[in-house]
Structure 1
Amino acid sequence: MEGTEARTRRRSEALCLEGGGGLPFIVSEVPRQSLIIKEGEYFLYTYENGDMTHGNRAGLGLYYRDTRFLSTLETRLEGIQPLFLSSSLERGYMANIHLSNPDILEEGRTVIPQDVISIRRSRLLKDGLVERIYVRNYHSAPVHVRLSIALASDFADIFEVRGMRRPRRGRVHRPRVAEREVLLSYTGTDGLRRYTRITFSRAPEEVRGGRAGVEAVFPFLLTTDEVDYLDLNVIPLEEGEEKAPAKYLEARRELRRSYEEWMEPTTRIQTDNNVFNLVIQRSLRDLRALHTRTPYGEILVGGVPWYSTPFGRDALIACYMTLMLKPELARESLAFLASFQGNKVDDWRDEEPGKILHEIRRGEMARMNEIPHTPYYGTVDATPLFLVLMSEYLKWTGDLDTFRRLEENVNLALRWIDEYGDQDGDGLVEYSRRSPLGLSNQFWKDSGDSILLPGGRLPCMPVATVETQGYVYYAKRRLGELFRDLGDRERGERLLAEAEDLRRKVEELFWDEELGFYVLALDGEKNPVRVVSSNGGQLLFTGLPSPERARRVIQRLMESDMFSGWGIRTLSEKTHYYNPMSYHNGSIWPHDNALILRGMKRYGADEACLKLVEGLSTACLRMENLRLPELFCGFRRTLYDEPVPYPVACSPQAWSSGSVFLILQSLLGITPDAPRGVLYINKPCLPPWLESVRISGLRVGSSRLGLLFRHEEGTTVFSVTEKEGDIRVVIEE
């Protein structure tokens, strides 16, 4: 008879292709253009006109704590959808949408011609949705029109929205209507009552019931050039919460001030390229939008719309990338993840003592244990990356107080690597799934088909991926140096010896001379997965490869089957399961490219760095909102004038936003050593489209620096423009 584990594995694999969260991802409608704003634990995802049609299959909605509290928002003028003109995102928390009227007919004749009534929707998120709708009459005669707003909620869990079927749902209650307020509510299978409180700044002329919600009608009588407005608040609430409707102007002022205060201590970066300055500003604002205060602490969440929740790997890599910009992000994320560090063996959640979480959810399905994300620990690399970030944070800050507070967490993470991460005692760190609803692949390419053997066969478990070994090597080497410097010489030398043993193993077991590259992984029988992938490229930033092999890796990455012209693909075009439209098997991920570029610069491959930066920067300039998304398709640049979007990519996404800053740090050759009071500059190289870069307020330990990099006679030179503290700037050759 078939074993229980095999039946469970087969049933789970039959669900559908796994997305980044490891569970089904089915979106049958992808908006050509959409608007996403986020603030705190709220995000709003709509069409570009600001609406969400009833029954849409795109996942549009107002979300709070993994629940969709508003699923329908339809605005009509005299029963007709207004004409879309434009939309813009002022900040991550705010959007402006401009609409106009179509011809308005009465008994077959036009009574109000098209494009004489302007409708401007200014919306932001502050304890829910706060929207001000301005209606202005540009007609030569007075107008009397009715604006209707339909609102409804299905209170769906975000995993339901993404396509997961549930055995049963809770109960949606009939709307309760008052003079200026509507209350939608739902009692979940978890017993928790959830509410959507809707308030208006004035009483509607009429409120009609329908489709699990309401339609409110508001008259506007406007003389020529007169403007009037209506305020709308949509407030998600869980049972026991009380939130007053925010006032639009006050909320806007508070949010702007919040952004200014968040950005005030960040390193300031100014270049001579105005467009690149806009890219920097966009990335910085996106990081602020994704920086989220939760009941458990503050952390950078993964991305919107689908991953607006804490992810261990994503937060750790994004914080590593932004240490030059704002090291507080790393300190907060380390503390947050340490507080959820695994403390027992729990197969349902793939938890083990010392392990760092993969993802945490707070919706009804998580509360009912229908999914294991409470939190879920199915990631092989978050634990070594926790150690990597801790060591790099110390290099930037010298903050031993934080290290001492989290030292036991560091010890537990090291113990997990040796006792649980190494599943078969061979000195490598592997993964295998135990949870029936867990991820089958638990490295960063965590979709179900990201490792396939010839014939489409899945590898046998446990699997050891090459870049995971690099993370472990990097962590042990860095921590070995740290413990040695702190006086624990015996432990430091032991960790350094373990790192060197691992380096030799990787060089022996993962290098494939015929490929001229590192294999992607070893399966449970130690058979190599002989494909060229970006995973081997990530080894470079860890410093594990020998100089000669690093040179060959870089050369191979820049060949046309890996480098598309826009960026480096996750998988070679020559691989049997390559697909440029897939999630992980031929697409281009900006964060992946940024880590690879960091490694290229480490090994002195400036020409390859500049070629890669040219591709990524040109792609970014052709993306919506000058923003690098989570990923885009891997089609060749010679075939398309623009990078091809991946339909359901998160944008913004934390490690894509952070990539801009790691790329710049790498090009400038900046490496800190706060404990020794030194900042190293190693052969900076600016791309041709950047003549100068000015860095102000760069923090290294307790010191601050200003640096100016500029082109001069075919090379990049720098000067120190300001200095506070005892920091020394040392030129490395």
Structure 2
Amino acid sequence: MDPAATAALYASYVLKDGDSFLVANGFGDVEEGSTGFFRDDTRLLSMFRLRLGETQPALLSAAVTDDNVVFLAHMTNRQLPPLGEVTAASHGLLHLLRARFLHEERMHERITLMNYGTHAIIAPLRIEVDADFRDMFEVRGQVRAARGRLLDQEELKGPRGVIFKYRGLDDVVRTSAIAFSQPATKVDGRVFEFLLHLVPGVEQTLFVECGNEAGAMPSRERHREAAAQARKRMRARGRRGGRVRSDAPLFDRWMQQSRADLSLLTSELETGPYPYAGIPWFSTPFGRDAVVTALQTLWLDPTIACGVLGFLAAHQAQEESSFLDSAPGKIMHETRRGEMSALRELPFGRYYGGVDTTPLFVMLAGAYARRTGDLAFVDRLWPALLSATAWIERVCDNNADGFLDYARGESTGLSNQGWKDSEDSVFHADGRFPKGPIALVEVQGYAFAAFRAMAELAELRRDDDSMRAWAGRAARLQAAVESKFWMEDQGFYGIAVDGDGALCAVRSSNPGHLLFCGLPSAERAAKVAEQLMTPAFHTGWGLRTLAQGQARYNPMSYHNGSIWPHDTGLCAAGIARYGHREAAERVFTSAFQAAVHFDMRLPELFCGFKRVQGAPPIAYPVACMPQAWAAGAPFMLLQSCLGLEIDGLRGEIQVDRPRLPEGIDEVRLHDVALGGDRVDLLFRRVDTRVGMFVEGRGSDVPAVRLRS
């Protein structure tokens, strides 16, 4: 196989709609590994392979359109043998185009062939299909003791397709229907062959649909109508919130790709828009990921935060369960709909094993109120916020130092329940794993910010007693963190305190989140910021999750030395919060340069090797792309450089010493919401400074507080 074909086989192209997504290789085929068409964490299509005769076509190009709606694979034929008296097709005479999209949980595909030769040709188009109904966790490698059984398949009349059936151990019959717009010439098991008579210059088209039920037969009209609706819905999602434009085309491509990826991953739920975490492994509602994504984009698009808060409040835990790691008031970590979760083979049907999601939820509510001034929505959330805060208080009160800690309820749950949730991500300086319960340093920052948020909201509600109580809790927690986590000899915070009260004296990126929350003193924040910018952390592409030289450091690991764009963005926002705008600009520039090498789509994570002149960043082999909080990171990085805060409560815009990255002299923000108005903000480099100009689109230009 030639190198281009090999690369195409291992490339992944993804589409998503609602609770369905599809992963295929560059040829558009589904045939091995984690590829497939999935709905509700079940693989409905495990084989969808196209051939001309026995031969795989030669790939010319493969891409997903800029709006993330349509996958396109342009191919041509290799040498085809003659069929009967019809002339054989030499290499490169046929053009084959696969155009595919998802709409209303169904896959739609148009396969078009054109003969550019001088003689008529019969093209034997073969399509092999199958459905294994594997649970997502099986596809990820989980071994089950037993699984359900495949039932007899049903042929669609014509023969125009097939319906696969599977009865799970939960006694639910799941079906997958593949239908074609015309009858097959021949059917051999699960292989459908269509002998297409290709007259020179005349297009032949086959339409294909796949879903969990048969529905109407595919046709040109159905395909066109569904495609128009799919594009319309994606455009509507992409128009929400403000938009970023600049005088640098490459930077604009990054912003547009990130925006398109967020639109792709965002599902419209009853409670509003909700960004699913990532494809392929996490195309489902996650709590932590969605809250962070909402924080990253809050300044441009508050509607995401509103949808996330509404959904998480509606799914807040009401009962104690060690299996689900749930307790009243706790906010959901993850939800799944597959067979294994339904049977409780795993706890992830609705799982609460994230210690940080609950304080992050409260943090987001406070940030949303400040950004929008929408206190009516906060009033509706108030019971959920009280319940969430009560859970934080109970856990802190049970810890000798007053920290928010975690210990999983059962062995089926996650052993580490912060954002670095792999088994080896928390350890002592000598590499030993700590005894639980474990209090992570960044989680204390989230809890501190949550108490501060509740104090601010209580003040707005004229509840002075509660305001003082929560402000006092925040101050006590702040003092405890400064006392227990600070390593004076290293000028840095340790990653965690274990169940014996011993500090895990490890330098990680986690304290960057502490800066984001505003907990450290200015003096200590400066020391942390300075170290995060040293080569131990800063690779030239982003910030490592673990400092080089620490125990268990491995730049190819998941959490112990890799680069996570969302983590880098939070650290940069924390650095900028304490006024170190130049350092934030350096981090922004490195992330932008990394994005260029990843075709403007930052992955979930990549390897933490030092940047080498002339060489690209090193990909992590099984990273999700796109990933919501990786797509949101560029917006948080830009906000950190601009020093921009939008205060909806006061109706004003605050800008603190804005900077523009090198090579960008002008950034314009269009349609930024402030109260009931929309404004345009223009940042322009003027000599050595950056100025800001405001254009009102409503009744008045808002108040501006500018520190340059």
The TM-score with structure 2 as length reference comes to 0.95
Distance in 2 (CA, whole Å) between partners of 1:638 and 1:415 is: 49
Q: Given the alignment of the two structures, is residue 147 of structure 1 paired with residue 125 of structure 2, yes or no?
A: yes
1:98 counterpart = 2:74 = yes
The answer on 1:223 being equivalent to 2:199 is yes
Q: Where does residue 137 of structure 1 map in the other structure? A: 115
**Which of 531, 542, 545 is matched with 2:517 structurally?**
542
Q: In 1, are the aligned partners of 2:482 and 2:520 still within 8 Å (CA)? A: yes
Q: Please report how far the alpha carbon of residue 327 of structure 1 lies from its aligned counterpart in structure 2 after TM superposition.
A: 0.9
Q: Trace 1:264-663 onto structure 2 (pairs within 5 A).
A: 264-294=239-269, 298-420=273-395, 422-453=397-428, 456-624=431-599, 626-638=600-612, 641-663=615-637
Q: Are the structure 2 counterparts of residues 719 and 518 from structure 1 closer, same or farther at C-alpha, using a change threshold of 3 Å?
A: same
Aligned to 1:70: 45
Distance 2:64 2:401 in 1: 52
Residue 188 of structure 1 aligns with which residue?
168
**For 2:335 and 2:545, how far apart are their aligned partners in 1?**
26
Partner residue of 2:658? 684
Contact (CA 8 Å) 1:183, 1:198: kept in 2 or not?
Answer: yes
d(CA) in 1 for partners of 2:147, 2:681: 58
Matched, 1:165 2:140: no
| Residue 251 (structure 1) shift | 1.1
Alpha-carbon distance in structure 2 between the residues aligned to 1:423 and 1:307: 33
- Distance across 2 between alignment mates of 1:245 and 1:655: 36
- Structure 1: how far apart are the matches of 2:114 and 2:356? 55
- Distance, in Å, in 2 between the alignment partners of 1:81 and 1:272 is 44
CA displacement 1:373-394 (0-9 Å, x = unmatched): 1201000000000011101111
Q: Is the 8 A contact 2:108 2:207 kept in 1?
A: yes
CA distance in 2, matches of 1:640, 1:511: 39
Aligned mates of 1:41, 1:35 — CA distance in 2: 17
Structure 2 Cα separation of the partners of residues 260 and 708 of structure 1: 24
User: CA separation in 1, counterparts of 2:452 and 2:8?
Assistant: 45
When the two chains are superposed, the root-mean-square deviation of aligned CA atoms in Å is 1.9
CA contact (8 A) 1:82 1:100 kept: yes
SS of the equivalent of 1:406 reads helix
User: Is the 2:288–2:333 Cα contact (8 Å) retained in structure 1?
Assistant: yes
Whether 1:672 aligns to 2:646 is: yes
Q: Secondary structure at the match of 1:62?
A: strand
Q: What is aligned with 2:92?
A: 115
Q: Check the 8 A contact 2:645/2:653 in 1, yes or no.
A: yes
- The answer as to whether partners of 2:429 and 2:550 remain within 8 angstroms in 1 is no
Deviation track 1:238-297 (CA, whole Å, cap 9, x = no partner) reads xxx978768211111111111222233421221111111111111111111111135776
The offset of 1:640, in angstroms, is: 6.9
CA 1:244 to 1:440, structure 2 compared with 1: closer, same or farther past 3 Å?
A: farther
Q: Which 10-residue stretch deviates more, 714-723 or 406-415?
A: 714-723
Show structure 2 runs of 5+ residues with no match: 1-6
1:537 Cα offset (Å): 1.2
Instruction: Calculate the TM-score normalised by the size of structure 1.
Output: 0.92
- Between the aligned partners of 2:262 and 2:246, the Cα distance in structure 1 is 20
Amino acid at match of 2:432: R
- Distance of 1:295 and 1:233 partners within structure 2: 27
The 3 A distance-change label for structure 1 pair 165 and 639 is farther
Contact 1:30 1:647 in 2 (8 A): no
**What secondary structure is seen at the aligned counterpart in 1 of 2:88?**
strand
Amino acid at match of 2:153: P
SS in structure 2 at match of 1:642:
coil
Q: What secondary structure does 1:173 align onto?
A: strand
Q: Aligned equivalents of 2:529 and 2:267: distance in 1? A: 37
Identity %: 38
Change (3 A) 1:171 1:297: farther
- Per-residue CA deviations over 1:418-438 (Å, capped at 9, x if unaligned) read 113554242110011112210
Change (3 A) 1:253 1:491: same
3-state DSSP of counterpart to 1:343: coil
Could you give the per-residue CA deviations for residues 186-211 of structure 1, whole angstroms, max 9, x where no partner exists? 111111111111111111101111xx
- Match of 1:351, SS state, is coil
Which residue of the other structure, out of 29, 32, 36, is the alignment partner of 1:61?
36
CA-CA distance at 1:455 after TM superposition = 5.5
Is the deviation greater in 242-251 or in 181-190? 242-251
How many angstroms apart in 2 are the aligned matches of 1:478 and 1:298?
A: 23
Moved more, 262-271 or 400-409: 262-271
Give the residue type in structure 2 aligned to 1:489: D
- Cα distance in 2 for partners of 1:732, 1:478 equals 25
Q: How many residues align?
A: 693
Contact 2:366/2:456 (8 A) holds in 1? no
Cα–Cα, structure 1 residues 323 and 697, in superposed 2: closer, same or farther, change >3 Å? same
For the residues of structure 2 that align with 1:554 and 1:715, how far apart are their CA atoms? Answer: 23
Return the alpha-carbon distance in structure 2 between the equivalents of residues 225 and 637 of structure 1.
51
For residue 4 of structure 2, what is the aligned residue in structure 1?
none
Flag structure 1 segments of 5+ consecutive residues without an equivalent.
1-28
- CA displacement, residues 573-603 of structure 1 (integer Å, 9 cap, x when unaligned): 1111001111100000000111111111111
